[in-house]
């Protein structure tokens, strides 16, 4: 019988797997989960901002859609990393090992790039909700912004680590997403 997917685990079990001395779930899976959590917070904050946002329901729906897209990427990232580990386990004298490892690392960059793009979309909406939404939920929206920004930065770092060629379009796109995430003017909490 196959092990349950990450989405089927309790939060406690998932956290235990992240902390375990095993290669997966790792940084990519955690980044995907973080994007999904950020989208959930933004959906909640938007959904409770009907008085402030005429488009509250559309924003909440968009965040739920992004959450649904991001969550399964945790499992996909772990599978892609599994291919990297399989290539690394090949004998050192295997003439196909370098090529297999290069290909596995290249494929492993695709999922974090997808995670980063989703995180950027969440960050965009969450920033809007934090600025215009229900002030009682500003902390939730701001937390969504910060989580999404961190996930974008982490996922783009994984792309850079997996793609050696500076000219690779995925690496270029990762740099664009990372730079854009860093430049987002995050709302600041009003301190009394």
Structural domains in the chain, CATH included, are 24-183 (1.20.120.680)
* In the chain, % of residues over pLDDT 70: 96
Residues of the chain falling short of pLDDT 70: 1-3, 190-192
Whole-angstrom Cα distance, residue 70 to residue 35?
A: 6
Q: What's the pLDDT score for residue 44?
A: 98
Per-residue pLDDT tens for 89-143?
999 999 999 999 989 988 899 999 999 999 999 999 999 999 999 999 999 999 9
Q: What's the pLDDT score for residue 2?
A: 56
Q: What's the pLDDT score for residue 192?
A: 46
Q: What does the radius of gyration of the chain's CA atoms come to, in whole angstroms?
A: 18
Q: What is the pTM of this model?
A: 0.92
Q: Which residues contact 80 (CB under 8 A, 6 or more apart)?
A: 28, 104, 107, 108, 110, 111
Q: What's the pLDDT score for residue 165?
A: 86
């Amino acid at each position: 019988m196959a092990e349950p997917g990450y989405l089927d685990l309790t939060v406690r079990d998932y956290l235990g797997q992240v902390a375990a001395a095993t290669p997966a779930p790792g940084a990519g899976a955690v980044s995907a989960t973080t994007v999904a959590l950020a989208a959930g917070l933004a959906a909640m904050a938007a959904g409770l901002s009907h008085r402030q946002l005429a488009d509250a329901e559309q924003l909440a729906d968009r965040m739920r859609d992004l959450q649904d897209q991001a969550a399964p990427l945790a499992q996909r990232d772990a599978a892609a990393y599994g291919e990297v580990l399989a290539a690394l386990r090949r004998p050192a004298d295997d003439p196909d090992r370098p090529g297999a490892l290069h290909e596995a690392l290249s494929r492993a960059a695709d999922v974090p790039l997808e995670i980063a793009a989703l995180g950027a979309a969440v960050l965009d909406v969450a920033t809007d909700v934090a600025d215009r939404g229900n002030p009682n939920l500003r902390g939730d929206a701001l937390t969504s912004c910060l989580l999404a920004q961190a996930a974008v930065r982490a996922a783009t770092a994984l792309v850079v680590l997996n793609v050696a060629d500076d000219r690779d379009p995925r690496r270029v796109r990762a740099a664009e997403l990372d730079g854009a995430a860093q430049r987002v003017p995050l709302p600041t909490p009003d301190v009394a």
